[in-house]
Chains A and B, each alone.
Chain A
Amino acid sequence: LAKTTQPISMDSYEGQEVNITCSHNNIATNDYITWYQQFPSQGPRFIIQGYKTKVTNEVASLFIPADRKSSTLSLPRVSLSDTAVYYCLVGDSRNSGGYQKVTFGIGTKLQVIP
């Protein structure tokens, strides 16, 4: 199971770009990297997923270096509504039969300050 490490918390002012880095040193060849966002008392919500290089959608960008041992979620110009917990997940492709075990961890609590 690929273990991930990310900062417990971050603060940012409104309008700034926020970068949250996740380490996953033992990522497997077939593993993808996925980020989720969770608001208080709600279920997590998928944000973005990638395998290598850069992925961008309407919400965020995901940067993955060539060695894939880390990844960075980039949120452009954050607003107060981006205050949430962000989880980095790495797909477990190594269980027998390809069964999906997913480990969320505690995530990164982002606090956006006015």
Chain B
Amino acid sequence: EAQVTQNPRYLITVTGKKLTVTCSQNMNHEYMSWYRQDPGLGLRQIYYSMNVEVTDKGDVPEGYKVSRKEKRNFPLILESPSPNQTSLYFCASSLFPSQVANEQFFGPGTRLTVL
């Protein structure tokens, strides 16, 4: 089944404790992206990746890191989480980053709470 998976689905952690949220897709998609969703603010893009070893900042990259060493995986790293990073996180992938907004496939989400 074609899908985007994220792990963990739920995570409660404390300020300053490094964490990684994994994202994997099995559709051989080149383009992957991370979003966070907060009440009243909608979905905001954190980072995106055009392909392996190619990443760029989205609208809210501060406090996050990403890497794209393999086509299928795009982990989101929080080196020193803070309470303002408490949010619902979504990973997404699409076949290619054409010049138009093409169909993205989203993962199930990771609900992160930073105490």
Query: Which residue numbers of A lie inside 8 Å of B, CB to CB?
Result: 30-34, 36, 41-46, 49, 87, 89-93, 97-107
Contact = CB atoms under 8 A, between A and B. Distances in A.
A46 B104 contact: yes
Interface of B: 4, 31, 33, 35, 40-45, 48, 50, 56, 58-59, 88, 90, 92, 94, 97-109, 111
B100 A103 contact: no
The interface residues of chain B, by DSSP majority, are classed as strand
Given A100-B48, A105-B42, A89 B101 contact: yes
Contacts of A99: 48, 50, 56, 97
Given A91-B101, A106-B40, A43 B59 contact: no
Contacts of A104: 35, 42-45
Contact of B31 (A43, A100, A106): A100
Nearest to B33: A102
A44 B106 contact: yes
B100 to A, nearest CB: 4
